[in-house]
A = this chain, B = another copy of it.
């Protein structure tokens, strides 16, 4: 189910048209973006940009999932964010890339060359406004995640992660909702600041407790949503918004 994007695909029919950096643009502004954009696809597992690379392109994720991470010299890795469709890659004003970006699934990007894009950011308030809004949303999400990393137990971390998967899932409310883990156990571990064995053990424990049920390694059902939320450590209506 690889989607094909032509170089001059019209923005009007773009799946992320109303959530990406271009969300507030009018037709004229879209036309200017169309002039400088190009699509590029990465296979699952492929690096997209690496820390220290010179920052030559910005991009929006159109389809697929990418991870933003940092690896220490001795190999310890922390995932600091997941990039979903409509999320932005790159930081205007920086010369170099700060974190590694890796394709988790197959990923299609809508890329912009740096210079012309920065020019647009300066000239088109609808773009800079939307970028600021997105940056502030991500800042909030990062801070919520800091609470998880610094203070939550393994079980709370995993429950929070599962809730996030459920909340972000685009699947509409069905009679029996089935969800799919977007990451391997190891990737989840690197996102939650744990080891893959701990992820596996805690998922088994939650299965034994009747909170979730697995069908294969990736697909799962929520058997007890209240218990899942209870286990997340978040209060009634808070939680990760991302």
B-binding residues in A (CB < 8 A)? 68, 70, 72-73, 76-78, 80-81, 91-93, 98-99, 122, 125, 128-129, 131-133, 135-136, 138-140, 142-147, 149-151, 192-193, 233-235
A150: chain B residues at CB < 8 Å are 78, 149, 192-193
Closest to A77 in B: B151
A147 adjacent to B70 (CB under 8 Å): yes
Interface centre among A138, A140, A146 (most CB of B within 10 A): A146
Q: Take A72-B233, A129-B128, A235-B73 as given contacts and tell me if A146 and B78 are in contact as well, using a CB distance cutoff of 8 Å.
A: yes
Task: Beyond A128-B128, A128-B129, list 5 extra A-B contacts (CB 8 Å).
Answer: A73-B233, A78-B146, A91-B136, A125-B125, A135-B135
Among candidates B68, B129, B132, residue contacting A143 with C-beta atoms closer than 8 Å: B68
A151 adjacent to B72 (CB under 8 Å): yes
Among candidates B135, B151, B234, residue contacting A193 with C-beta atoms closer than 8 Å: B151
Q: How far is the CB of A137 from chain B (nearest CB, A)?
A: 9
19 contacts between A and B (CB under 8 A): A70-B143, A72-B151, A91-B136, A91-B140, A92-B132, A92-B136, A98-B143, A125-B128, A131-B132, A132-B135, A135-B136, A135-B139, A142-B142, A142-B146, A149-B149, A149-B150, A149-B193, A150-B192, A150-B193
Among candidates B138, B143, B144, residue contacting A81 with C-beta atoms closer than 8 Å: B143
A144: chain B residues at CB < 8 Å are 70
Q: How far is the CB of A130 from chain B (nearest CB, A)?
A: 10
Q: How far is the CB of A77 from chain B (nearest CB, A)?
A: 7
Closest to A80 in B: B143
